[in-house]
Structure 1
């Protein structure tokens, strides 16, 4: 049972990283195609990427901590 949970956590971690990379690439491409839209904001164009990155980092720390607990329980 714990091995299935460990595998699920690994899938969640990799999916979270993939979604973040996809969002970052989309935001960069959107900024290059429509720079006028991002000039209207008072913050730099990469601010949404930083906010998303901070949320992803918090979630990754939580998931990695859960993986460490499960790894400890498996031993």
Structure 2
């Protein structure tokens, strides 16, 4: 989701537990983001799980609170 030019949003990658750690998630993420390789802002929203953080950081994502000197804010509303 997004405008495909300046920003793209991804709502997590889900892989069944018995298929994790076999490259499925990496392949899915690459396939989904490939058309948006030139988009400057690629935003991912996911659960707060240490394994997910490690997965996405290994693929170039940075948790927003860890971006040095960034004047960024993220807001969510759950209804």
TM-score by length of 1: 0.29
Which structure has the bigger radius of gyration? 1
- Structure (1 or 2) with the greater strand fraction: 2
Higher relative contact order, chain-length normalized (CA < 8 Å, sep 6+):
1
Under a length normalisation based on structure 2, what TM-score does the superposition of the two structures give?
0.28
